Amino acid sequence: MMTIAASTQLATPVMDRDHIQGNNFAAVTLVEYGDYACPHCKEARSIVKRLRETLGDRLRYVFRNFLTLSSYSRAHRAAEAAEASGAQNKFWEMHDFLYDNQLALSDKHLRVYATRVGLDMQRFNLDMMLHTHALRVHEDVLSAGQSGVSTAPAFFINDSRHVGPCNFEALRSHVEQFN
């Protein structure tokens, strides 16, 4: 049985602005704060995918940006690229490209991924040049800090911080407590 830290709650509730997969009326909401340059976050992606497949409509998944100090520059640009893609309704496609190509997150690579997911490149390039979505990334990072997040990945299940290992069995067990 997982322990829930009572003092560690999700500071910013899930909103329409969030990137959401799954049923909006699901019994359980899993919020992840992740960093595109973090290898543990890349591993967590496959765990979340398996949870979503296992739980189906009982799980709503939300991804928010978090930037670790060790990968700040690369992860920040990748997060901006994901948000720019989201503005063109292609967030999840870019999200997957970024994790699949985690070691190649230069602006040059980000433009290649944007092309592959079918973005309007003129709009994408302008958004990246003007840092149009940097505030959105910053808001996610602030929300993470207000929620007590200091490392990635960090998970919240129905607004309570998941404490313990970030593996499939531990997360599934914690999620099942709410079903």
Q: pTM for this one?
A: 0.92
**What's the rounded Cα separation, in Å, for the pair 132 and 138?**
12
- What 3-state class would DSSP assign to 139? helix
What is the tally of structural domains in the chain? 1
| Alpha-carbon span 27 to 8, nearest angstrom | 20
- Asked whether 66 and 35 are in contact (CB, 8 A), the reply is yes
> For residues 51 and 56, what is the distance between their CA atoms, to the nearest angstrom?
8
* Percent of the chain topping pLDDT 90: 87
> What CATH code is carried by the domain that includes residue 165?
3.40.30.10
Q: Which of these ranges, 13-22, 44-53, 69-78, 103-112, has the smallest mean pLDDT?
A: 69-78
What pLDDT is recorded for position 5?
Answer: 43
Contact (CB, 8 A) for 37 and 71: yes
Chain center to CA of 75: 12
Q: Could you tell me the residue range of the domain that residue 80 belongs to? A: 3-176
Are 32 and 153 in contact by the 8 Å Cβ rule? The answer is yes
Residue count of the chain: 179
Q: What are the pLDDT digits (tens) for 81-114?
A: 999 999 999 999 999 999 999 999 999 999 999 9
